[in-house]
Structure 1
Amino acid sequence: MKFYKITFFLLLLLAPITLLAQEVQLVILDKDTRETLPGATLQAENLETQVSNNNGLISFIPAQNYFVKVSHVAYESQSFQLRPGMTREVLLERKSTALGEVVVSAFETDRPLLEQGAAISRVSEADLYRFNERSIVQAFNTKPGIRVEERAPASYRISIRGSALRSPFGVRNVKVYWNDMPFTFPDGTTPLNLLDLSNIQNSEIIKGPAGSIYGAGNGGVINLQSLQQPNQNKISSELGFGDFGMLRYRFAVDQRTENGGISASYVHQQSDGYRDHSAVDRKVFQLGGHFSPSAKQTISTNILYSDLNYQIPGALTEGQLLENPQMARPGSVEQNSSIAQKSLYAGVTHSYQILENLENVTSAYVQTSEFENPFILDYKRELQHSYGGRTKFVFQDQLGSVGLRLIAGGEYQYGKTAAQNFGNRDGVADTVRFADDLITTQGFLFQQAEFELPSDLILTLAFSENFSRYDINRSIDAQTGVPSGAERRFDPVIIPRIAVVKRIGNNAAVHASVSSGFSPPTIAEVRTNEGSINLDLDAERGVNYEAGYRAGWWQGRVNLDASLFYFRLDQTITSFTNEQGVVLFRNAGATDQRGIEALLDYTLVQNPNAFLSNLKFTHAFTGHYFEFRNYESGGNDFSGNKLTGVAPNSLVNQFDLTTSLGFYLNLTHHFVDEIPLNDGNTVFQEAYNLVSARLGWRKTFINRWDLEVYAGGENLLDESYSLGNDLNAFAGRYYQPAPGRNYFGGLKVGFRY
């Protein structure tokens, strides 16, 4: 501290001489402690990156005025206009995970997490990159109430509070947005496996019904964001590798422009897979732009092309699992059970500040996809086209002592699919069995009012009006020889939500909410692979009651986020498998879903100038005590049984360590309780413990080069488990074995120009 004071005093004395030489002298400081910060970077377009020395000093001679950005890994960035001859202090605020400072955009409101009246989890960029970077699975599974399953590489299934019961494969009953645009298709399915990890920078997950603002669905909402506006000119490349032939490489370019920036990336990932017939090959190209035509408006564009191929090994019986967990289900190899999908997705988002207190944000997208799926029992081909959009108006004002924020808007999606089902003869499409033109339409209007009341109360009243329809026009039916048609319309359904938040001082708050959910069956559940059309399948309806507590202590170094909920669901949709192995669906009466979810994190060390610069622990607990309330099927009464596919308890423990030399260590332990695999609760997946680790080193050289090297291991205890079982499987084919102990590594290089 004494040296800093002397240095700054000398800078003031030398200011006249400095001005003559047009030299810039900046001292970078911690805003709270006033300690100098070495390793801070100063960046601007067409300017060589500058780095503060051991005394926090940046000194150079600029050729002109620049709009600069000063950054440090442990601090919030700061931007300002820099002039030749400038001498000043730059005070940086320490980054914090305090709940009162972490801003989320859930329910279309940018508020601190502390002020949100719902159960929300954030998956940050740091969360995504503390594991093997081949998928999102492990990062999302560190959050309470969320489970991402991977029955085979690139074959995802997402469960938010047990919502995967009706999803034997794929992502259903969960609404997904990517860069503020709908990424869930009009038919209710989400091809999340088309995205690479690098296409996601941050994620927000709303748990439970969110229909008041995001339309139909009981399983929650996932908002994904990629890099929107590059803050520097940079070329980067990555190389990752691992067991089972895993290889992933990526190239990316970020280019700033006069009023925005452009980013482009290409990534290719492939692997042979742990099991026989489980290889995957995925190529993803993304081009994004962000522009500000004027001070009042911004435009963001995104183009995503994905070419995905992966093999499906199939589920095993217990005997086959014990004999050889790496084997494929008999018939999978011979029939070339696999999926090939090429998809092009393009969208644009426009934001306009109409008045000082009135803003509009509108997004639109178009999408086309070719899908081919040879399976043991049949061979499916689909050509899909869809488009849609979303718009919202946000009005804010102060009415005396009451703050008011009104949000109103709508969303519309239309999709058309030409679907053909053939016989499968040794992996080749045989005679056509049936061919359908599938048309799906869904939309909703939403309104929301937020009142900031005296006594630190925030009241939210919201509702939406939802409608949906699908039409099935069968042009070929080999069984009957007669074309036919079917349609299903769901009358407009109003979904309300009420929430209240009460702040307790600056660092704590309680929240409570009641929200309604409505989830119609997807067209894949009505029209099944053997050709039947089940128009009697009803929509799920539910009501969620929730209360929670959030608090932070020790300047945001200790944070707790906990919630209790009770979700009463009627007309629950469940899956079952007939004697031919075809997955079918039915309404299963009602379920009671009670749960507790809690996340606790505490940072013991946070000092960027010390050798041990950061030391953090995180614990996440999920208690899901779900059961069938009223469910009879096939002469069996399953009432009172545990809900199929849901683990009652799970616990995640994380340890993160960072040093000033650039070394870091991430350790993760994940316990999952036993999981019932059928409605009768006669077959269970045994409880298991997963341990993973990642050790790495990252550093910046010569002010321009960024380098990172890492290595790690997964399932270090070599547990035998399935990361996604088949539920209510016929002939006992429940198990999809996951890899045992395996290792990975990688290298990242970036150059700023």
Structure 2
Amino acid sequence: MRLLHCTLILLLLSVFATTAIGQTSLTIIDAESGDFIPSVVVNIADGRRYLSDERGHVSLDLIEKTNGLFTHIAYEPLRTVVNPNSSITIKLEKKTNNLSEVTITSFESERSLMEQAAAVSKVDQAELYRFNETSLVNAFNTKAGIRLEERAPGSYRVSIRGSSLRAPFGVRNVKIYWDGIPFTAPDGTTALNLLDLTNIQGAEVIKGPAGSIYGAGNGGVISFTPEKIDQNKAEASMMGGSYGLVKYRVGVDQMLESGSLSASYVKQQSDGYRDHSALDRSVFQLQGRFEPSDRQRISTRLLYSDLFYEIPGGLTAEQVAENPRQARPGSATQNASIKQKTLYGTFVHDYEFNDHWSNHTTVYIQTTDFENPFNLDYKKETQYGYGARTRFTLNDQWGTFPVRLLFGGEYQFANTGAQNFGNRNGQADTIRFADDLITTQGFIFQQIEINWTPSLLMTLGVSENFSRYDISRTVDASTGDPYAAERTFDPVIVPRIGLSGKLTDYSSIYGSISSGFSPPTIDEVRTNEGSINLDLQAEKGINYEVGYRGEYLDGKVQLDASAFFFKLDETITTYTNEQGVVLFRNAGATDQKGIEAQLDYFLLRNPAGLIQELKMGHAYSYHHFRFKDYVNDGEDFSGNALTGVPQNNLVNKLDLITRTGIYLNLTYQWVDEIPLTDDNTMIQDPYQLMNARLGWRKNLGSAWQLELFGGVDNLLNEQYSLGNDLNAFGGRYFQPAADRNYYGGIKVKMRY
């Protein structure tokens, strides 16, 4: 009898164990081809991790149903519920490569790229990390019509279709957003160098004016998206390279029950290729994302950036020939440099009222301490500011036609205390003048989108814009008397109309007419020698554009091409006085005609093979930009090529990814000659660049990922200037870029 009882107990325990712990068998395949996918990381909610084998198989011991996260370098992450004691086939989608699958949020409307009636380029995370990870320059320069310049490490200039004509330094005439938050100051300038690559997951770039919904800026819009947190992980990376380059990063991401927290710190230093061109930047970021309900999402972010870089200054052609690594005489003695500390606090709120109505609102506050000793003077500024943007969206029907209505507004305010001193051997000397500056800008916008047919979408948008500068001069050593000046720009109405039509599911055409305007920045109105130019007018332009997008051979070949004509009035150009101070003036009009094309294709695409991807890409820009009706001091520059803009630009790319984890990125760029003066008498010769990066990325078990990488920039050892000083006094046009240089690094990621 006792033996029978023991037997029954053992049987019951066996049944209980079988019920409590269910063996689950997973087979992970490609959703399109059905091929098995090896090396997929499977993260279970209780913290366990598994790795799929060569046949895409994973065995799990589960007590109850649980959430699983499936990740792979070549596929989109997938979250799904996994049940115990079952056999499940998991299908993963390839990471978006096809134009018809790319979702664009430009013009505040989330649609596929095929439906967008505008020239939009998307820069994804893989493209950002094809290079040395020290700046945005190389990745953005692979896109047609976009050109980033770096006159010295940390000194950026952004040109979208020639929009840097009026920017001797800094980023102007381009509107920049970060997570939907206005990152461009209300005076029209952007401190793009505050952001590190790790603060960005990707970007969308609208080429040409987009003022109907984004306000001022004829050059276009760059919208950065920060990295999204979808798993618990800790990361550390370190790299080094030529000319004293050192960069390291640490970061941690923590998932919550209904959100996430993350923190990161980045440090980058270099001595620079030229004398007096060192860089030292630290960036700390803390962010949280929360979902209080199914209809509500909140994100907050704290960004602190401590930036210092030296300014070597422009050289003449003779100085470049003598020694391209030298600094402009006097730059080191006067400690020409930028020291900037900035703190940003941001709040983003999304709310869905119902199935038709939603709202997206962003708010920021910021404070900045800025110090800029230069060869001719010494500038100090302290600034605080705030701003907000809100958008309401309605998705509904107008009769039988689907309609999307958007309306909202944006407002920004900044108060700056600015002081200009003499510069005595790098130290602030006697004060020359001091100003209290208040800049405000705001606009309201409305946009309607109507699907007249399933393949024809029309977009109508308009904004009403307001801006004002208040300058209170508290100290003026030349006159001894304080005074005040103000400039209120007349309200500007900026309309846009766009039509996009699908020819097939995999091709479309579009056309648009869009207006734009760009008031002068505070640095253009209030110049370094103390003058205040209230007569400087805002630029106004209109852009006509047509384009075609198509993909062929199941998305293996993709083409995106456009042609445009942009007519700009009251063009602002630079000139220098006898002291070498950069000043600004309106220069009549410009006619800007261009063709831009991007062609990408897969030579091989087999996620289950040894070579998973072999891809090539080509980007070409033809810019026939000319001055029109431009007469200055009796000289007629009408018909001359636009200063600072190459007529032709070609980029070729090759990317290789293997199953073993080895990858290769090759980039070749050819840039046409660049006129450096309005009279076109000084030209920078054409140049060609080649960059290469080789790396190995591997999952080590289920929790660890290791990456080793190295590369060469300027492989052909070309002598060139990446960012010239236009119309420079004394012939100091050139800012020589680094010759052949090397880098290498390591990244470690732990999932927990």
Q: Tell me if TM exceeds 0.5.
A: yes
Q: Which runs of 5+ in 1 are unaligned?
A: 1-15
Q: After TM superposition, give the deviation of residue 20 of structure 1 in Å.
A: 6.7
Q: Alpha-carbon deviations, 1:305-356, whole Å to 9, x = none?
A: 0000000000001111110000000000110000100000110000000111
Q: Alpha-carbon deviations, 1:537-561, whole Å to 9, x = none?
A: 0000000000000000111111000
- In the aligned structure 2, how far is the partner of 1:46 from the partner of 1:264? 23
Q: Are residues 1:106 and 2:106 paired?
A: yes
- In the aligned structure 2, how far is the partner of 1:236 from the partner of 1:264? 10
Q: Alpha-carbon deviations, 1:606-628, whole Å to 9, x = none?
A: 11211111100000001111000
Cα–Cα, structure 1 residues 491 and 319, in superposed 2: closer, same or farther, change >3 Å? same
Please give the secondary structure, in 2, of the residue aligned with 1:333: coil
Please give the secondary structure, in 1, of the residue aligned with 2:320: helix
Q: After TM superposition, give the deviation of residue 18 of structure 1 in Å.
A: 7.3
Q: After TM superposition, give the deviation of residue 71 of structure 1 in Å.
A: 2.4
Structure 2: which amino acid aligns with 1:526?
V
| Pairs within 5 Å for 1:551-566 | 551-566=550-565
- In the aligned structure 2, how far is the partner of 1:254 from the partner of 1:241? 25
Please give the secondary structure, in 1, of the residue aligned with 2:239: strand
| Pairs within 5 Å for 1:153-192 | 153-192=153-192
- In the aligned structure 2, how far is the partner of 1:737 from the partner of 1:34? 52
Structure 1: which amino acid aligns with 2:69?
K
- In the aligned structure 2, how far is the partner of 1:574 from the partner of 1:46? 61
Q: After TM superposition, give the deviation of residue 74 of structure 1 in Å.
A: 2.1
State the match for 2:152 in structure 1. 152
Q: After TM superposition, give the deviation of residue 87 of structure 1 in Å.
A: 2.0
Q: Alpha-carbon deviations, 1:632-671, whole Å to 9, x = none?
A: 1121000000000000000000000111100001000000
Cα–Cα, structure 1 residues 437 and 45, in superposed 2: closer, same or farther, change >3 Å? farther
- In the aligned structure 1, how far is the partner of 2:33 from the partner of 2:569? 56
- In the aligned structure 1, how far is the partner of 2:240 from the partner of 2:35? 41
- In the aligned structure 2, how far is the partner of 1:391 from the partner of 1:276? 46
Please give the secondary structure, in 1, of the residue aligned with 2:508: strand
- In the aligned structure 2, how far is the partner of 1:401 from the partner of 1:70? 41
Q: Which runs of 5+ in 2 are unaligned?
A: 1-15
Q: Are residues 1:515 and 2:517 paired?
A: no
Q: Are residues 1:97 and 2:89 paired?
A: no
Structure 1: which amino acid aligns with 2:463?
S
State the match for 1:577 in structure 2. 576
Query: Is the Cα–Cα contact under 8 Å of residues 188 and 522 in structure 1 kept in the other structure?
Result: yes
Report the more deviating stretch, 373-382 or 81-90: 81-90
Q: After TM superposition, give the deviation of residue 17 of structure 1 in Å.
A: 11
State the match for 2:49 in structure 1. 49
Query: Is the Cα–Cα contact under 8 Å of residues 335 and 375 in structure 1 kept in the other structure?
Result: yes
Q: Are residues 1:204 and 2:210 paired?
A: no
Please give the secondary structure, in 1, of the residue aligned with 2:121: strand
State the match for 2:132 in structure 1. 132
Query: Is the Cα–Cα contact under 8 Å of residues 463 and 494 in structure 1 kept in the other structure?
Result: yes
- In the aligned structure 2, how far is the partner of 1:242 from the partner of 1:32? 41
Report the more deviating stretch, 35-44 or 540-549: 35-44
Structure 2: which amino acid aligns with 1:682?
T
State the match for 1:7 in structure 2. none
* Aligned residues with identical type, % of pairs: 57
- In the aligned structure 2, how far is the partner of 1:509 from the partner of 1:284? 42
Query: Is the Cα–Cα contact under 8 Å of residues 44 and 232 in structure 1 kept in the other structure?
Result: no
- In the aligned structure 2, how far is the partner of 1:305 from the partner of 1:45? 33
Query: Is the Cα–Cα contact under 8 Å of residues 96 and 557 in structure 1 kept in the other structure?
Result: no
Structure 1: which amino acid aligns with 2:195?
L
Query: Is the Cα–Cα contact under 8 Å of residues 338 and 372 in structure 2 kept in the other structure?
Result: yes
| Pairs within 5 Å for 1:143-542 | 143-228=143-228, 230-454=229-453, 456-542=455-541
Q: After TM superposition, give the deviation of residue 42 of structure 1 in Å.
A: 1.6
Please give the secondary structure, in 2, of the residue aligned with 1:739: coil
Q: Are residues 1:29 and 2:29 paired?
A: yes
Q: Alpha-carbon deviations, 1:243-267, whole Å to 9, x = none?
A: 0000000000000011010111000
Please give the secondary structure, in 2, of the residue aligned with 1:642: coil
| Alignment RMSD | 1.3
Q: After TM superposition, give the deviation of residue 98 of structure 1 in Å.
A: 1.0
How many equivalent residue pairs?
738
Q: After TM superposition, give the deviation of residue 72 of structure 1 in Å.
A: 2.5
Structure 2: which amino acid aligns with 1:269?
Q
Q: Alpha-carbon deviations, 1:41-77, whole Å to 9, x = none?
A: 2224332122111121111112443222222222233
Q: After TM superposition, give the deviation of residue 31 of structure 1 in Å.
A: 2.1
TM-score, structure 1 normalization: 0.97
- In the aligned structure 2, how far is the partner of 1:706 from the partner of 1:463? 48
Q: After TM superposition, give the deviation of residue 370 of structure 1 in Å.
A: 0.1
- In the aligned structure 1, how far is the partner of 2:699 from the partner of 2:456? 46
| Pairs within 5 Å for 1:582-597 | 582-597=581-596
Structure 2: which amino acid aligns with 1:60?
L
Query: Is the Cα–Cα contact under 8 Å of residues 19 and 86 in structure 1 kept in the other structure?
Result: no
Please give the secondary structure, in 1, of the residue aligned with 2:165: helix
Q: Alpha-carbon deviations, 1:371-400, whole Å to 9, x = none?
A: 000000000000011100000000001334
Q: After TM superposition, give the deviation of residue 176 of structure 1 in Å.
A: 0.4
Please give the secondary structure, in 2, of the residue aligned with 1:489: strand
Query: Is the Cα–Cα contact under 8 Å of residues 42 and 702 in structure 2 kept in the other structure?
Result: no
State the match for 1:4 in structure 2. none
Q: Alpha-carbon deviations, 1:452-480, whole Å to 9, x = none?
A: 11151000000000000000000000000
Q: After TM superposition, give the deviation of residue 573 of structure 1 in Å.
A: 0.3
Query: Is the Cα–Cα contact under 8 Å of residues 561 and 598 in structure 1 kept in the other structure?
Result: yes
Query: Is the Cα–Cα contact under 8 Å of residues 201 and 225 in structure 2 kept in the other structure?
Result: yes
- In the aligned structure 1, how far is the partner of 2:454 from the partner of 2:300? 42
Please give the secondary structure, in 1, of the residue aligned with 2:35: coil
- In the aligned structure 2, how far is the partner of 1:503 from the partner of 1:393? 27
Report the more deviating stretch, 740-749 or 23-32: 23-32
Q: After TM superposition, give the deviation of residue 19 of structure 1 in Å.
A: 5.9
- In the aligned structure 1, how far is the partner of 2:538 from the partner of 2:196? 32
- In the aligned structure 1, how far is the partner of 2:651 from the partner of 2:29? 36
- In the aligned structure 2, how far is the partner of 1:42 from the partner of 1:452? 41
TM-score, structure 2 normalization: 0.97
State the match for 1:12 in structure 2. none
Q: Alpha-carbon deviations, 1:122-155, whole Å to 9, x = none?
A: 1110000000011000000000000000001000
- In the aligned structure 1, how far is the partner of 2:245 from the partner of 2:44? 38
Structure 1: which amino acid aligns with 2:62?
P
Structure 2: which amino acid aligns with 1:711?
G
Query: Is the Cα–Cα contact under 8 Å of residues 211 and 517 in structure 2 kept in the other structure?
Result: yes
- In the aligned structure 1, how far is the partner of 2:151 from the partner of 2:561? 30
Please give the secondary structure, in 2, of the residue aligned with 1:193: helix
- In the aligned structure 1, how far is the partner of 2:412 from the partner of 2:44? 41
Structure 1: which amino acid aligns with 2:92?
L
Cα–Cα, structure 1 residues 423 and 20, in superposed 2: closer, same or farther, change >3 Å? closer
Please give the secondary structure, in 1, of the residue aligned with 2:122: strand
Query: Is the Cα–Cα contact under 8 Å of residues 20 and 63 in structure 2 kept in the other structure?
Result: no
- In the aligned structure 1, how far is the partner of 2:718 from the partner of 2:693? 18
Please give the secondary structure, in 2, of the residue aligned with 1:212: helix
- In the aligned structure 1, how far is the partner of 2:153 from the partner of 2:731? 22
State the match for 2:3 in structure 1. none
Q: Are residues 1:77 and 2:77 paired?
A: yes
Query: Is the Cα–Cα contact under 8 Å of residues 96 and 556 in structure 1 kept in the other structure?
Result: no
Structure 2: which amino acid aligns with 1:710?
F
Query: Is the Cα–Cα contact under 8 Å of residues 144 and 619 in structure 2 kept in the other structure?
Result: yes
Cα–Cα, structure 1 residues 20 and 381, in superposed 2: closer, same or farther, change >3 Å? closer
| Pairs within 5 Å for 1:704-719 | 704-719=703-718
Please give the secondary structure, in 2, of the residue aligned with 1:23: strand
- In the aligned structure 2, how far is the partner of 1:352 from the partner of 1:589? 46
Structure 2: which amino acid aligns with 1:219?
G
- In the aligned structure 2, how far is the partner of 1:356 from the partner of 1:32? 31
| Pairs within 5 Å for 1:673-684 | 673-684=672-683
State the match for 2:13 in structure 1. none
| Pairs within 5 Å for 1:537-548 | 537-548=536-547
Please give the secondary structure, in 2, of the residue aligned with 1:504: strand
State the match for 1:655 in structure 2. 654
